[in-house]
Amino acid sequence: MTTVLGIESSCDETAAAVVQHDGVVLSDVVRSQIAAHAPFGGVVPELAARDHLRAIVPVVLQALGEAGLRLAEIDAIAVTHRPGLIGALLVGVQAAKGLAWASNRPLVGVDHLVGHLLSPFLQRAGVVSELPVFPFVGLLVSGGHSAIYRCEGPEAEQMHELGATRDDAVGEAFDKVSKLLGLGYPGGPVIDRLARVGVPGRSFSLTAPMAQRDSLELSFSGLKSAVARKVADQPPESDEAVADVCATFQRVVVDTLVTKTIRAARRENIPNVVIAGGVACNSELRRSMAAACEQRGLRLFLPAPRTCTDNAAMIAYAGAVKFRLGQTSGFDLAPLTHTELPRVTRKGRGPRKP
Ligand code: KG4
Ligand code: ZN
């Protein structure tokens, strides 16, 4: 059995985990910086980097301790080295290099997006989950990324972007809408909660973005601006009216994500669907995607909410896959802001010409 220590510091979670190559999670420590960023309504890169620096050593020690293993008993050290905030990534990468050097263990650089797409393979104690089957269509929706992939296998070269957001990520749109409604950060969980008591279209209406039939591209900044304009024109004056804005916004977003994912599965003729990333915690997205997949005879693999948001267990698992394929990294491993998965959608500039 291969056992890997994973380290994650690409955004606002300092995380470390120990995972076996079969996906069994031995420990999974996530230290969130939400409280530090909340007053600013979003992640402040400089604050994130400094906070990672304070947290990284205790978090790694806790992950090893909870797994009941010493560094000498670990087979490899995996770390997110792209994409993310450069100062934040640097902390995890340097920590991983130091540990790998000191323990004479191989270092494995992992792309954060590959980690998210492989996250449904994690197996947690007490949670029975069906393991995904390749090929699958993967909808990755988080605070920094939103895209649909065709995944033919667990390696980055086997993951192909079918369409991505042209502008904001979905989670970013949730966070911005929450901020303009004065609901705080992060916005996803609070909008999810309020949407349950609101009624879509009752006292507020919106039109779906990028609804063109064929496109697998996404766009959320126009939708966010539409919410901002309408709220400025007619501020919601009761809790019920605020809940209606949340419910309407969430309904439009979820409908768009479900429609595009189903379209991708059909177009690619793939019967398996995975959703991943922080927004995959959204209760309406989970429910609607499950219903749409069932209706069309598609199999949906839904990771546990803890697996959807940023964590190091998915990085350790992706690292174990690479390590077993002999894909280790040198000590020149550098943090990078962009993913290694080739893009087909150009941010802000429409589809890439072949
Ligand atoms: O994957 P993640 O933890 O970090 C990134 O890689 O970005 O995703 C964080 C994002 C935030 O924008 C947060 O608002 C969103 O996921 N999120 C949700 C929910 N829970 C978290 N969005 C919608 N509904 C939720 N229940
Ligand atoms: Zn993420």
pLDDT higher than threshold 90 for residue 230: yes
> In terms of CATH architecture, what is 3-124+307-324?
2-Layer Sandwich (3.30)
| Rg for the chain, CA atoms, rounded | 20
Domain boundaries, the chain: 3-124+307-324, 136-302
Nearest CA to ligand 1 atom 3: 309
Mutate-to-test residue for ligand 1 from 174, 175, 254, 339, highest number of ligand atoms within 8 A of CB: 174
Give the model's confidence band at 350: pLDDT under 50 very low, under 70 low, under 90 confident, else very high: low
Report the predicted TM-score, pTM, of the whole model to 2 decimal places.
0.95
Give the model's pLDDT for residue 286: 98
* CA dist., res. 132 & res. 151, Å (int): 11
Give the model's confidence band at 352: pLDDT under 50 very low, under 70 low, under 90 confident, else very high: low
- What is the tens place of the pLDDT at every residue in 169-210? 999 999 999 999 999 988 999 999 999 999 999 999 998 776
Find out whether the beta carbon of 309 lies less than 6 Å from any atom of ligand 1. Answer: yes
Q: Do domains 3-124+307-324 and 136-302 have the same CATH topology?
A: yes
In 3D space, the residue among 294, 295, 212, 198 whose CA is nearest the CA of residue 250 turns out to be 198
**147 membership: H or E segment, kind and range:** strand 146-151
**160 membership: H or E segment, kind and range:** strand 159-164
Is the CB of residue 5 less than 8 Å from the CB of residue 47?
no
Mean pLDDT of 11-30: 97
Superfamily name and number for 136-302: ATPase, nucleotide binding domain (3.30.420.40)
The mean pLDDT of the chain is 94
Give the model's confidence band at 10: pLDDT under 50 very low, under 70 low, under 90 confident, else very high: very high
